[in-house]
Copies of this chain bind each other. A is one copy, B any other.
Amino acid sequence: MTSRREELATNYFNCSERERAVFEAGIKLGTIYHQFVGTPVAAANVEILERAIEDGVRVQPFVKDAKVRISREALRRKKDEFDYQTLTGNMLIVELTVAVGGTTVVAGMDFKDDLHYPLMYVKEIIP
């Protein structure tokens, strides 16, 4: 069922439903990166931070599911007061599912060794 507000919003888009669905997926990946990069992270709070990012994405329009992992490689047991880090894009592994009308998009972000870069990309559009 489509809300009244969603009907009004749709009028502003000059593109197909498929195109809008990937556009919405792109917005959410940009959101995750730039909202949470810089957050203090250590072994003690990495799990709650993963869950908070997932749940923050899930309350946004059109998001059906979100899975967020923060790479543990860079996190160590705290040895002194200064031994913590702030979250970087390279640590993030994200998969999210967005649905607009009858179209579902699965998109991801993760570090690609061949690119030396955390790539945001479209994994699948259904149907």
Contacts and interface: CB of A to CB of B under 8 A. Distances in A.
A54 to B, nearest CB: 9
Nearest to A84: B59
A67 interface: no
A56 B60 contact: no
Interface residues of A, number: 67
Interface string A53-93: 00111111110000000000000001111101010110000
8 contacts: A5-B81, A8-B115, A13-B121, A14-B122, A26-B27, A26-B28, A26-B29, A35-B38
The 5 closest A-B pairs by CB, nearest first: A26-B26, A30-B30, A52-B52, A3-B80, A45-B55
B115 A82 contact: yes
Contact of A42 (B59, B79, B82, B122): B59
